[in-house]
Structure 1
């Protein structure tokens, strides 16, 4: 999210391009890196309830600038709700069949309206938009019963700029175009008719739109197999034409492009992606485009395995060339040479099969942006993505280099030589585990560096020498790199004195020190979310002098507010007042007198007004005890005076004064002993049972060994399992008890006597069984009873080692077990004992092996 906000840097530094380039290609830069998240559409916390008139349920953002109404079964009419100053209304997934005149009259203040995904909508009455004169964006998409638009459907939308009609049931373009007449939609500049089944466009299809201001026309995925050469001649203002993934042949495209030139239509962007071109771009079309005003050419999702020097003619106007996902395995050295593409500034080659960057592969002297991400190579290429020495020696104008999602394992001090003017380097989601000393030194003007999702610390720690030369770096992203700590004696952040954004989310940091942060005097955003941070005792930000305006500490292991934390919060809040953002959600705050009373009293005596206000308004939630779970910490602190915390404090002080230290120690010891005896009473009874069995072992070992060899067991095996694995156990019973040699299993649901204590029954059954079978699954690891049975089984194996000739413990693993649920005993058993793994494919072999193990020592 933060990354996307800084993508404007690329365009800002496009000093060789005009303002139109900066405007037109902003969407490209946003899509290459993390796209901006529409927070309003994702967060709808306010429930507006059900509209009684229509049956629709509605939710909104906290500011009510976005309202979404829905209802798969109840919502049969267009909702009539009071939306106040709402900017955008979305009505989706309803059973509305038609929208009639008057249904929308009350929404006259809307700027955007979306009527999407309504499977029964088939009619839009003319005049329904008569009162929406302020509407600028309208989407009526994914309504699979809507097949026709009447001529006056959009009357009243005098300010409408964007009309989206994607994936409806329109089949004849001539039937709906009259609804787009310029006297009806005088401000329309974008029309998206993608994913409708038009098949062909005849000569007079767009005749009703003669004189329209339309600049962008989208006809993607429309099954078009014919476009009349003169079909677009009436759209004089057209700047962008998107006809991606249709069935048009090269001559048809050539003919209508030729007629558009003759009609004086100056296209700036042409999308020919996914058109089925093979081997090389159609030379005749490329020569045609070379003589037009087209600046952006999209040829993605075609198939050009080898991009040679002769695939493109001289193209003097092309500034952006999109060759993503064209199956390219090699690029000739002069394919994009400045002599052929003098104005080329953005080259997109992501999603191909390029095995690396060879000095003879690509020429990018004139480029500002080069995207080589997601190149997986081929089966015959090397395992890792390789970058040759000196590849970027002549790329001095390059501002943005994207190498994300490539299997780059290491980079050295010669890798980026020549990129002295690079501003953004993206290497996220790779396999990078080695950074050579001085690797980033050639990029002295680098401002954004993304190394997220790389195993950087798998083999070495991060050092200052690796990041030398990043004096102008503004943003560093080290998300999910396995970082456990930073070395204060060799502080890498001393190389980045101008850093403003530091993203360290999803690592393994337990703490962060004052010395680590001290060099970052200009830090504004610090993201430490999804780590293992605990409450810090000494102030960090106050001591280091660092004052970020955004501090993200979500999803850590913070259990309480220490005095050092409170001092830091007070320091940040007093500096920036209400503008600072401190997020502590999803931590493990314990809301009891012991953890919160001292902080509460400190706040009452020393806390500033702004700090008190922060706690009062914060949504930080308690995680325990149960009575306060998922309730606000602020509510607990405000109720402290009513919770006997004062009595608790006075009582504790008085007892310390009255009782002597020996008395306290004695009482505490007795309480601990009583608690341990009560808690582990079942285990103690079992240990006593084992002690009786082991008594006198040294005197009768030989006799005992002989007796054990001849001991008659009631069961061949005791089966320990969780209820989730009941079906597997039933299959085991069928395989082992119903077929030779007819083994006898102890199953608690069948064999335990009614009325006996469960613990006694388990102890008796284990002692009466020759083997103990543990069926280990994720549910088994979660179950408290199964864990207890595992302990008993292990103790039985260890303490009864009295000459028994076989190991009674048999492990069966039925699926993947999450590591967080494994106890120490289970981990030890799985690492030290050979276990059987259940698979459907080899079930017969599995039962045969298990039957042999149980019969072997019978």
Structure 2
């Protein structure tokens, strides 16, 4: 069966279809074929990661491995590489020219490694690099010329290294005439005293979290071209050090966390008050007023007062400030905030009060309107309640963030008057009840986020006035039941998130109010469960004709178990369906029949007794592009299941029980580009022979193909390289080997029959005699006859008149075996001949022309010679009855062969010589004929023919 399957596999591979390729430790992105991720592969050398990547790669991420060294020319074969990520490795050494031939690289990230120093040639070849990150390395020294090859560098990140000398860093920057951003935060710099000037192009400099005490060490021109300077969290207390520095070009200065007098700083330096970020300067309430006085009267775009230990805002605190567009009071200690209009009458647009201690938002019913205020954020506070008309002062509010608080009470009219609000975030609070009047005035609301509260009931028409709402997030609540009026009024809703609730049942009536607009529905992590295949009520989604994304994964506690028939009926536009983590026992074969537009389907991690999918389950999913079947218990791939997925591009089959991959399925998936078979027990058998052939092509990416090991203790090695010679079947050779002998036989049989019939018959008798001899029990001591006489009937007269009387009637007579006298009646002629030869001590061949022409005589002498040559016994006595020329003997090569091997006795015509003839014959029969007697023999032939008839062996 194996060779037959291999033959079929090879034939199928010749047909149009998918062929595969793979990378040892990288995954190619489906969206961007030039992007490769080699993350968390436990790699120790860079070649094992990128050695097999194609030269057209533009993005490579080799992060989170154990690479400690980059040898020279590590990426020479990737000339088009643009981004390279080597984050979180163990890099200690970068050899010279390690980045050779990377002229197109513009971003290099080497952060979170073990680099302690940089050699002179570490970055050679990176002439077009724009962004370089070396953050979180134990980098203490930089060679003065290490960065010189980076002539186009614009951003250099040296965050959290161990740099001590600012002068050394400044000198290493010489030649970087395009550098704009330099991050030296979290190092060990204690002074700014460079020997070399900073590049004039440098405009953004981060020096926070160092040990700087002054800024005058670098001379007045050190910061001349800097526009954005971060000196936060240092130890700068000497304000006079700013006096000599040229700060007039600064547009932003952050001094947060330094023990200095900000007002003294403004007095002695050339810094403009509006360019200073006042966060973290311990201003207090009084300090805020002083700052406002220094800012002048012109409108201010941003005023940041973060981390200033402000505990309350009085009317006087911000009264002297110029008009402010954005006010940031985050990271203070505000416990209570009065209505904004009472302490800010300017055209405020955005108010940020995050990370404070606010515990409530009071009523502001009598407040005046701040018509310019559009954005308020009270995130990360401790707000417990929001009272009646809490935002009356901001009637034109567009965005309101109240998330990540502890709001348990939201007054029914807390949001009253916010007719222009478009985004409301109340997520991550403690809300339990929602009322219809809570959102009655939010007629323009488009996004409502109520995730991670404690809402358990949705009252009818609670969202009835939100006709323009597009996104409603109710995930992470305790909602158990939904009614047909839960979403009434949401005529524009397109995205509904109900994941992480306790919903047990859904019906078509629930979603009827949003049937014409809903596009995304998330029901992940609820308690939907079905125990029968029969759907008693109407399909729950039959009205959602525009829904394109449906999430039903991870139903609690044991999954959906069963997908009823026609469950997805009505979802004519659905493109993405998530059913993973549902421990499915069975799926109805027609479950997906109505999803003709489906492009993505996930059934991952649904293994709970379900093994192979039912035939025809995907028959209508002709537009499906991505299919995730990880860990669903599949044992086989069949055309009945996958045959219609003609547009499938991505197939994930990891963690299944697949031992073989059906080549017919692979060929049916003509557009497949991505195949994941990780952790499948693939076998190294002939059934997977075609799998190896995929490696020689570039069409379908098989994830980590070279790491698939043989799943057997007896099988060693990997699927891509197991020994396949036993599976190879050369069809042409087999056909040639079978047909050629058959044709030759058909051609030769008539010729052989016509020309060699008797010869074949003769050999057949020879074979019979050999077989009989093998079965014969030999007795070398006793013979029935002294000689068997082989003669032709034409010479019978001489035999009966001369030979028989001379040998049987004389003294010491011999017993002869003759055809007509001694052959056993009823026995075949051949068997009689064989028995006579082997029961006789000798065989006398009476040779004449008639004897030579007889087939039976030829058989007799052949049998006798066989005994002579095989048994090495002197059993043959040849009597030449008449003179026969050599030219006649040459036609009988068998006879001539015997005569050349044995000396013969010629019958003389002279009576006087006949006496010697009988003497020689008797001695030959007795076995006493010597060489001397042989020399006395007379030959009836000419002397020139004698050598052709003599033999090298002797008689007796």
Report the TM-score when normalising by structure 2.
0.51
Q: How does 1:624-663 map to 2 (within 5 A)?
A: 624-625=608-609
Using the TM superposition, give the Cα deviation of residue 482 of structure 1 relative to its aligned residue in structure 2, in angstroms: 1.0
Aligned with residue 213 of structure 1, among 148, 157, 178: 178
1:155 lines up with 2:111 in the alignment: no
Change (3 A) 1:73 1:111: closer
Match of 1:190 in 2: 155
> Secondary structure of the residue that 2:77 maps to in structure 1?
helix
Q: How does 1:588-603 map to 2 (within 5 A)?
A: 596=564
Using the TM superposition, give the Cα deviation of residue 532 of structure 1 relative to its aligned residue in structure 2, in angstroms: 1.1
Change (3 A) 1:411 1:542: closer
Match of 2:259 in 1: 277
Match of 1:463 in 2: 435
Change (3 A) 1:419 1:512: same
Match of 2:595 in 1: 611
For residues 299 and 177 of structure 2, what CA distance do their matches in structure 1 show? Answer: 26
Match of 1:434 in 2: 409
Aligned with residue 327 of structure 2, among 347, 356, 361: 347
1:586 lines up with 2:554 in the alignment: yes
> Secondary structure of the residue that 1:107 maps to in structure 2?
coil
1:236 lines up with 2:200 in the alignment: yes
Would the aligned equivalents of 1:77 and 1:96 in 2 still touch at CA under 8 Å?
no
For residues 66 and 205 of structure 1, what CA distance do their matches in structure 2 show? Answer: 35
Change (3 A) 1:304 1:291: closer
Higher RCO by CA contacts (8 Å cutoff, separation 6 or greater): 2
Per-residue CA deviation, residues 511-533 of structure 1 (Å, 9 max, x unaligned), is 33332223112212111111112
Would the aligned equivalents of 2:191 and 2:214 in 1 still touch at CA under 8 Å?
no
Q: How does 1:424-503 map to 2 (within 5 A)?
A: 424-457=399-432, 461-488=433-460, 491-503=461-473
For residues 45 and 399 of structure 2, what CA distance do their matches in structure 1 show? Answer: 48
Change (3 A) 1:216 1:591: closer
Match of 2:107 in 1: 137
For residues 329 and 400 of structure 1, what CA distance do their matches in structure 2 show? Answer: 22
Would the aligned equivalents of 2:506 and 2:540 in 1 still touch at CA under 8 Å?
no
> Secondary structure of the residue that 2:117 maps to in structure 1?
coil
Per-residue CA deviation, residues 209-248 of structure 1 (Å, 9 max, x unaligned), is 35622222211111222113x7895432333222222222
Aligned with residue 356 of structure 1, among 336, 339, 344: 336
Change (3 A) 1:627 1:210: closer
Using the TM superposition, give the Cα deviation of residue 594 of structure 1 relative to its aligned residue in structure 2, in angstroms: 7.5
Would the aligned equivalents of 2:568 and 2:592 in 1 still touch at CA under 8 Å?
no
Q: How does 1:449-848 map to 2 (within 5 A)?
A: 449-457=424-432, 461-488=433-460, 491-542=461-512, 544-560=514-530, 567=539, 569=541, 571-572=543-544, 575=546, 580-587=548-555, 596=564, 611=595, 614=598, 617-619=601-603, 622=606, 624-625=608-609
Using the TM superposition, give the Cα deviation of residue 439 of structure 1 relative to its aligned residue in structure 2, in angstroms: 2.1
Would the aligned equivalents of 1:412 and 1:436 in 2 still touch at CA under 8 Å?
yes
Match of 1:417 in 2: 392
Aligned with residue 375 of structure 1, among 356, 368, 376: 356
Match of 1:199 in 2: 164
For residues 595 and 154 of structure 1, what CA distance do their matches in structure 2 show? Answer: 58
Would the aligned equivalents of 1:456 and 1:482 in 2 still touch at CA under 8 Å?
yes
Structure 1: 5+ residue stretches without partners: 1-47, 52-56, 378-383, 643-858
For residues 419 and 254 of structure 1, what CA distance do their matches in structure 2 show? Answer: 49
> Secondary structure of the residue that 1:551 maps to in structure 2?
strand
For residues 440 and 195 of structure 2, what CA distance do their matches in structure 1 show? Answer: 59
For residues 416 and 441 of structure 1, what CA distance do their matches in structure 2 show? Answer: 8
Between the two proteins, the alignment pairs up a number of residues equal to: 562
For residues 513 and 372 of structure 2, what CA distance do their matches in structure 1 show? Answer: 42
For residues 251 and 332 of structure 1, what CA distance do their matches in structure 2 show? Answer: 36
Aligned with residue 381 of structure 2, among 406, 427, 451: 406
Report the TM-score when normalising by structure 1.
0.57
For residues 484 and 582 of structure 1, what CA distance do their matches in structure 2 show? Answer: 22
Match of 2:84 in 1: 113
Q: What is the aligned-residue RMSD (CA, Å)?
A: 4.4
For residues 595 and 300 of structure 1, what CA distance do their matches in structure 2 show? Answer: 58
Using the TM superposition, give the Cα deviation of residue 427 of structure 1 relative to its aligned residue in structure 2, in angstroms: 0.8
For residues 417 and 494 of structure 2, what CA distance do their matches in structure 1 show? Answer: 26
Using the TM superposition, give the Cα deviation of residue 310 of structure 1 relative to its aligned residue in structure 2, in angstroms: 1.1
For residues 345 and 631 of structure 1, what CA distance do their matches in structure 2 show? Answer: 53
Using the TM superposition, give the Cα deviation of residue 334 of structure 1 relative to its aligned residue in structure 2, in angstroms: 5.2
Aligned with residue 61 of structure 2, among 60, 84, 90: 90
For residues 489 and 206 of structure 2, what CA distance do their matches in structure 1 show? Answer: 50
Per-residue CA deviation, residues 283-306 of structure 1 (Å, 9 max, x unaligned), is 415874753894xx5555564454
> Secondary structure of the residue that 2:211 maps to in structure 1?
coil
Change (3 A) 1:524 1:256: farther
Structure 2: 5+ residue stretches without partners: 1-20, 226-244, 571-586, 614-628, 642-956
Change (3 A) 1:133 1:446: farther
Per-residue CA deviation, residues 286-338 of structure 1 (Å, 9 max, x unaligned), is 874753894xx55555644544311462276964444434443345645555x
For residues 635 and 302 of structure 1, what CA distance do their matches in structure 2 show? Answer: 64
Using the TM superposition, give the Cα deviation of residue 587 of structure 1 relative to its aligned residue in structure 2, in angstroms: 1.8
Change (3 A) 1:590 1:435: closer
> Secondary structure of the residue that 1:284 maps to in structure 2?
helix
> Secondary structure of the residue that 2:438 maps to in structure 1?
helix
Would the aligned equivalents of 2:528 and 2:560 in 1 still touch at CA under 8 Å?
no
Using the TM superposition, give the Cα deviation of residue 68 of structure 1 relative to its aligned residue in structure 2, in angstroms: 3.1
Change (3 A) 1:142 1:177: farther
Per-residue CA deviation, residues 367-420 of structure 1 (Å, 9 max, x unaligned), is 43322122137xxxxxx3454747984643233211112122222333212212
> Secondary structure of the residue that 1:202 maps to in structure 2?
helix
For residues 281 and 388 of structure 1, what CA distance do their matches in structure 2 show? Answer: 37
Would the aligned equivalents of 1:150 and 1:179 in 2 still touch at CA under 8 Å?
yes
Question: Over alpha carbons, which structure has the higher Rg?
Answer: 2
Would the aligned equivalents of 2:611 and 2:633 in 1 still touch at CA under 8 Å?
no
